[in-house]
Amino acid sequence: MITIDYRLGDLYIFQDFVRHYIHTSQTLNIICRHWVPLRLTPGSRSWLPSWMLCARNLFLGGAYGASGISGDNLVGTPNHKPYNASKGTVATAIFRAIVDKTLKEKKSLTVNGFGIGTISGISPSSSSYVPTEAMHFSGWSSADSSVPDCLWRTLVADRGPHGMKIPSWYHSACQY
């Protein structure tokens, strides 16, 4: 049971909710879901941490609309979970405030896990497409005749809409 103190403000209420969710579900799935309400206290969005995803950034037209902003939720719905990335590991999380170089307080979420690889480079992020620079990290060149299976399947998380089987046309779509 969670007790909500509305006098604390959006950030603290949401942080308590995330803490409660992680503790009771023993998963980090909540940080992959767009759940923060559309209506916040005026001015509050500017200080919500990046691990609190706002519901306004879901697909245009609903969670599985035809025109997307954020793509499918990789953790699935509560009753259908297409992945088990944690391999059954129980999630733990620590919330804390940190002060950055500008002396502004930022909210931090620290979690335990296991390494799956090393980040060798980064590219600019985008809201609805994969930049060419990011494609080069995979070793693929647009001069190649076909997008390799391992690349396009990674881009679509090896799943179709709603976590189901990949439609046959996905490979062709990735060519563009």
Hey, what are 59's tokens?
């697909």
Residue keyed to tokens 């179709």:
160
d(CA 50, CA 36): 11
**Tokens representing residue 175 in the block:** 């060519």
Q: Quote the pLDDT of residue 46.
A: 55
Q: Which helix (H) or strand (E) holds 94?
A: strand 93-99
- The tens place of each residue's pLDDT in the chain, 176 residues long, gives 788 888 877 778 888 888 888 888 888 888 877 777 766 666 555 566 777 777 765 544 444 433 444 555 556 666 666 666 677 788 888 877 766 666 555 677 888 777 777 877 776 665 566 777 777 777 777 777 788 888 888 878 788 877 778 888 888 887 77
Residue 79 has a pLDDT of 64
Closest CA to 31 of 19, 41, 39, 43: 19
CB 89 within 8 A of CB 71: no
Strands 34-36 and 53-54: parallel
Tokens of 18: 């995330």
**Residue 32 Cα distances to 55, 146, 148, 151, angstroms:** 11, 31, 27, 22
Q: CA 139, CA 154: separation in Å to the nearest integer?
A: 13
pLDDT number for residue 63: 42
- Delimit the domains of the chain by residue range: 1-116, 117-176
| Token reading at 14 | 């949401």
Strand ranges inside 100-144, DSSP E: 105-111
> What does the alpha-carbon distance between residue 49 and residue 45 come to, in Å, rounded to a whole number?
9
> In this predicted structure, what is the pLDDT of residue 71?
55
Q: Give me the half-sphere count of Cα atoms (radius 13 Å) on the Cβ side of residue 70.
A: 19
What is the rounded distance in angstroms from the CA atom of residue 93 to the CA atom of residue 95? Answer: 7
Q: What is the pLDDT of residues 69-108, one digit of tens each?
A: 455 555 666 666 666 667 778 888 887 776 666 655 567 7
